[in-house]
Chain A
């Protein structure tokens, strides 16, 4: 009998190419992972054999990820560019997946039509759609697809013992190994072991007449009979897993993943975090949830018993942190490293054949007959329509997820950044991106410049990164305070990493950049703001790397393609025969175990209905709860939460709709009042938590105490407000609060300022800057400095003055030593200093010696923490002296000084007063730097205060500062003999300009305070202007 082409399979392939092939161009680049793979591909395209990559994480090895997919993309990129490589591989992955699903289904069901159905269903499987179009996990898809291709070959080897199948199966396994490391390991466990079990069952079945007669003893007997083949295959596969990506294992051994686990949605409790539940449970399972009873029923039939066990495991593991079981099964470490969504993916893939079978039986088989007989044809049609609707709806929903809830920021044009980096030797420094999302990988792939950040967190090496539960610095805003804290360390000591340029796509980070001493350079034509830091040395021309022996490099570069070559050679014959039908081939041996599709079990149908009803009730209840929780004006608490949420997302029209309509505040007035408020809280804060407490409630009026916690780039803010809500009709509304109505005295006023411009290179040349174009470093003077111990932490405090005639950027670096001159710690001045000093301007400073937070992994990381939270460095010995290096560089930006302390009130533990903006720029973030003196007018402490609100021109702002209560302060050293300015001794350099300094000049102008320890204070003012005009 001549075999016909399977029209279902062909339909499936065509559909897959049409549907996925045309949509990947709109989705793949905005997925989480695709661009990371592209970056790796670019690495291989440029240096195939050299595994060390300098561009991320101050250097990492690409041997930390299996190379096949990356190398393929890299090789293809030489033909048509990186994206050509990406999309070609994606096409290949799609075809492999559909054909793989077909072959695997054929193996399980032994029925071409059913397998064809399964292939078509696999095309629109929501887990596949999600993995490809939202996660972009190409290696994972390729790996699992090849694994599915391997399964029939493995079966045939185990069953027939023909060596041909031994080699074909192993060749395919090795391709799987080189494309994805986790797939073969767990694939072995979840796919191949059950398959071996099935083969044993089949062999045992041949001894008797039916599966029912297969007893345990018979099974055991057959098991031992088959043991040799099983072992041969198992051990060879194990060998291949180790051998094919041997450098990977070598590297894992050398650099074990000892990082703080990064939170992943798939480990959440899906009931608590519904969004994770949606993405990692509901979407991948989709319609399969409804037919779960059938899948279990089929997989727990005797032949597939082991598949049933494996499937159960996958379902359970896929539930993440919802139940404690996955954590118990995997153990703490594995649970925290693995992303558990892959179990759900495999589970859904495992159910493809059964799903195909179900649909076949429903559409044209015994199930159809049964339903029609029991409930009538209309019911069957209705049910079919419903199932089809849900299936299609799930796919459409999944595909549109990225459109409605974009996981990435808007697409950024990279060319201006790439050009900027390659111009003028800018790539001699490292850079950092902020707010780029996964597009940072695409920038990394296009530029040769190096970044301190990276997008493959398993390869991180800097302890500053590995000890934080954040994947990238780049999106640290979303990682709460751990992220911001980590970022602040990089911003404060950038010279440690040769970090000079920051590309910011998110103005959220602007204040922290400014207060860490960075300055705005220019806005690129794609709207990205470039920040730079002065006084950062370029990256040295020779960089350290962890080298590996040449044979490891050769293995890594050669084996992946060899595995593909071998797989091709071994499988090409059957491939051609199968595709072209040139020869009549006997049916594979597993066709003997055909299923009987003539009588659908009535009990299963009943179970179905019960399950469906239960599921529908659960879903309805979940929806109802969701509605209750989110119905914004149902209760006073809800309206307050909704209002603050809307404010947080700047949905001002929405927030206005929660304002009491009977209040005489108009929409225009409301929007106007919001638009003129600037400052840390209104422009740079993200709502972190909100708690409401009802103080008093009547039927129509409620007063609530609302405590909001905001994360700003500088520190965590909390704000307590008392809000009143009123009930109008059935809805609750919020009473508005009004803005300041202070009238400034001048309608139009002028101000003269001194502006500066630095030519840089005066000649247009690519040469090194001519020496006559190099400006002199402005001379600073460290007026005073001392090492003190405040409670348990050490700080260097003091004052620095710009004694030159040009404005200066100031970088202060302190180092602590013990009596034996052993260096104990080094850190830079962070927020507590005015980084930009005009000529003769003076600033108090404090250098904190911060350790790497939570550097002991044992230290529990607090759930919510303060970005400004301070991790004092742990010093093994007592510091007794210090070295202070001040570096000045001429600066011409951010020289705004027009802020006035216009009123001050001192009470026992607080300092309050008013600031006044006397300039022509709107102040975004005002900062107070407060110096404390003891009764002998000796400086003993410096502190600062960021004000939550901005100050508009000629307006006032009140402030309130609480003096620290009962600190223990000990002065350790005030020996200033190791203070240096621009590398020269402080004393010498200063005496040339100010030979007769008046010491303690303003000592008579210190503010007296009433405090047990502090007798006097001095207030200095610093301001950040967000939008200079």
Chain B
């Protein structure tokens, strides 16, 4: 028992001693930096030299924003040197390094700055179209870059040139945190602005921004028609004045205007058109009965027109209804228009058939050469007493106790 204990003690001691012994051994290897330069220009060769005690191979871990790598040293007569590869040395920014797999950590930073002279200018402009009037804006971003594609030094001057209508301007801006930028607020006029930039004598390509007209202001509407009769055939054209925004720009082509028409019965009719050069032409067919229309046009939520009133005169004063073949053929006509001419084909004639005051069927016919005739099929309409209402051109004719046999 005792022997066991003393063995364990001895073993314990041995372990401790051996640890201490190891410690003293490793302390001897050390490595010190020789290179002193910490600022480089992109593209320069970066070589880090170290003084070492042993001619063994060392490893250096390098890292910048672009990536990381572990380098092996070239050791020659107690001097280890590392060449930073080009893909790291050509990027501007901070390059951090660290000797690894040694007990001492030895590390440092190298700052690499970009070349002073740009060889290309990266430019972004957006959005490519803005609304006139000073509220909307577009932004130009300029990044002058050097031959190794690094943004050049901060606070470099970039001249922004822009042309609009008759004016041509140059404004300097200064790069900050890699980029230079400028906001262009929309002028009052619509048109196209051409923008470019220059840095150290180097010019960018041309960019353009379309300044679109702003929203419309109130406008006027007018009508045009061949005659004022409600013949259900001719077409009335509704059109607007030249619609402009508040800065007197003609609104953009293709803008959609809705014309609301209120008829005598309170029905809301509707037509629409798109503008060309600020004017919209909408068409609507004449009603086929006497009517008065109140018309107003809208850019919904934006602008509106005045209200105009137009009247459609009665085109047919009266017409005849003839019954044949046990009342089963009903002929309406002649339908004569305002000068006594036959109404153009297609006037709608409605025949409503009631039986005991309930509607059975509505029949529609179109006039043909001034007449329309209905045939009441005995297979559908049995022999009985009906009530018939004929309606065309706003004139209603009622035939009570109408007998089919």
Query: Which A positions have Cβ atoms within 8 angstroms of B?
Result: 695-696, 701-703, 722, 724, 740-743, 745-746, 752-754, 756, 771-772, 774-776, 783, 801, 803, 805-807, 837-842, 895, 897-898, 900-906, 913, 916, 918, 954, 956, 958, 992-995, 997-999, 1001-1002, 1005-1008, 1018-1019, 1021
User: What string of 1s and 0s marks CB contacts (under 8 Å) between B102-140 and chain A?
Assistant: 000000000000000000000011111101000110000
Distance A1006 CA – B135 CA, assembled complex (angstroms): 33
Inter-chain contact B377/A840, CB cutoff 8 Å = no
Asked if A1007 and B379 sit within 8 Å, CB to CB, the answer is no
Contact A901 B235 (CB under 8 A): no
Judge if B267 is at the interface, Cβ distance under 8 Å: yes
Interface size for B (C-beta < 8 A) is 62
Is B344 on the interface with A (CB-CB < 8 A)?
Answer: yes
- Provide 6 A-B residue pairs closer than 8 Å at the C-beta atoms, listed in order of the A residue: A743-B344, A753-B274, A771-B124, A772-B128, A838-B256, A839-B255
Report yes or no: A741 in contact with B368, Cβ–Cβ below 8 A.
Answer: yes
Residues of A with C-beta under 8 A to B271: 900-902, 918
Chain B residues near A (Cβ < 8 Å): 124-129, 131, 135-136, 207, 212-216, 233-235, 252-258, 260, 262, 266-276, 281-285, 287, 296, 298-302, 304, 344-346, 348, 364, 366, 368, 377-380
Residue in B215, B304, B380 whose Cβ sees the most chain A Cβ within 10 Å: B215
A783 CB, min distance to chain B CBs, angstroms: 7
Task: Report the Cα distance A838→B276, complex, angstroms.
Answer: 13
Q: Which residues of A contact B366 (CB under 8 A)?
A: 740-742
Q: Which of B128, B266, B302, B379 contacts A776 (CB 8 A)?
A: B128
Of A740, A772, A1005, A1008, the residue contacting B346 (CB under 8 A) is A740
Report A928 CB to chain B, min CB distance, Å: 11
Write out the residue numbers on chain B whose beta carbons fall within 8 Å of the beta carbon of A895: 254
The residue of chain B having its C-beta at the shortest distance from the C-beta of A998 within the complex is: B301
Name the one of A742, A775, A998, A1008 contacting B345, with C-beta atoms under 8 angstroms.
Answer: A742
- Nearest CB in chain B: distance from A94 CB, A: 62
3 nearest A-B residue pairs (beta carbon): A742-B346, A703-B379, A696-B379
Minimal Cβ-Cβ distance residue in B for A749: B235
Residues of A within 8 A of B345 (CB): 741-743
Q: Contact partner of A695 among B234, B346, B368, B380, CB < 8 A?
A: B380
Of A752, A901, A954, A998, which contacts B270 at CB under 8 A?
A: A901
CA distance A293 to B403 in the complex (A): 71
- Tell me, in angstroms, the Cα distance from A906 to B284 when the chains sit together: 20
Evaluate contact between A745 and B233: CB separation under 8 angstroms. yes
Q: A771-B124, A1001-B304 are in contact. Are A900 and B136 (CB under 8 A)?
A: no
CB <8 Å contact, B344 and A1007: no
Q: Which of B233, B267, B380 contacts A906 (CB 8 A)?
A: B267
On chain A, the residues within 8 Å of B215 by CB distance are 803, 840, 993-994
- The complex places the Cα of A803 from the Cα of B245 at a distance, in Å, of 14
Cβ contact of B135, chosen from A742, A842, A992, A999, cutoff 8 A:
A992
> Which residues on the A side are within 8 Å of B346 (C-beta)?
740-743, 956
Minimum CB–CB distance for A741 against chain B, Å: 5
Q: Which residues of B contact A993 (CB under 8 A)?
A: 131, 136, 214-215
Distance in Å: Cβ of A188 to nearest Cβ of chain B: 63
In the complex, how many residue pairs between chain A and chain B have their CB atoms under 8 Å apart?
A: 174
Are A901 and B269 in contact, with the CB atoms below 8 A? Answer: yes
Residues from chain A with a CB closer than 8 A to the CB of B270 are 900-901, 1019, 1021
Select the residue from B213, B270, B276, B344 with max chain A CB neighbours within 10 A: B270
Q: Which of B129, B131, B214, B272 has the most CB of A within 10 A?
A: B272
Judging by beta carbons under 8 Å apart, are A897 and B235 in contact? no
Contact of A902 among B252, B269, B281 (CB under 8 A): B269
**Interface-centre pick from B233, B256, B276, B282 (highest chain A CB count, 10 A):** B256
A245 to B189 Cα, complex, angstroms: 75
Q: By the criterion CB–CB under 8 Å, are B276 and A703 in contact? A: no
Taking a contact as CB atoms under 8 Å apart, the answer to whether A900 and B256 are in contact is no
Quick one: given A743-B345, A745-B234, A897-B256, are A840 and B302 in contact (CB under 8 Å)?
A: yes
A840-B300 in contact (CB<8A):
yes
Once the chains are docked, how many angstroms separate the CA of A121 from the CA of B51? 97
Q: Which residues of B lie under 8 Å from residue A999 when comparing CB positions?
A: 301
State in angstroms the CA–CA spacing of A641 and B283 once bound together: 42
A775 engages B268 (CB within 8 Å): no
Q: A741-B368, A1007-B268 are in contact. List 18 more A-B contacts (CB 8 A).
A: A696-B379, A724-B379, A745-B235, A753-B274, A754-B254, A771-B124, A776-B129, A805-B131, A842-B301, A900-B270, A902-B269, A903-B287, A916-B284, A999-B301, A1001-B304, A1005-B262, A1006-B268, A1008-B266
| A756 pairs with B128, CB closer than 8 A | no
Please, which residues of chain A bring their CB within 8 A of the CB of B282? 900, 918
Chain B residues with CB below 8 A from A903, complex form: 267, 269, 287
Distance between A115 CB and nearest chain B CB, rounded to angstroms:
70
Q: Inside 8 A of A839's CB, which chain B residues have their CB?
A: 252, 254-256
| CB nearest neighbor in A for B369 | A741
Report A947 CB to chain B, min CB distance, Å: 15
CB-contact partner of B284 in A774, A902, A1008, under 8 A = A902
Q: A740-B346, A993-B215, A1005-B262 are in contact. Are A838 and B268 (CB under 8 A)?
A: no
Residue in B136, B214, B234, B296 whose beta carbon sits within 8 Å of that of A1005 in the complex: B296
CA gap between A998 and B303 in the complex, in Å: 8
Contact of B268 among A701, A900, A904 (CB under 8 A): A904
The answer to whether B284 and A918 touch across the interface, beta carbons within 8 angstroms, is: yes
Q: Which residues of A contact B272 (CB under 8 A)?
A: 897, 900, 1021
Is B380 a contact partner of A722 (Cβ separation < 8 A)? yes
Chain B residues near A1019 (CB-CB < 8 A): 268, 270
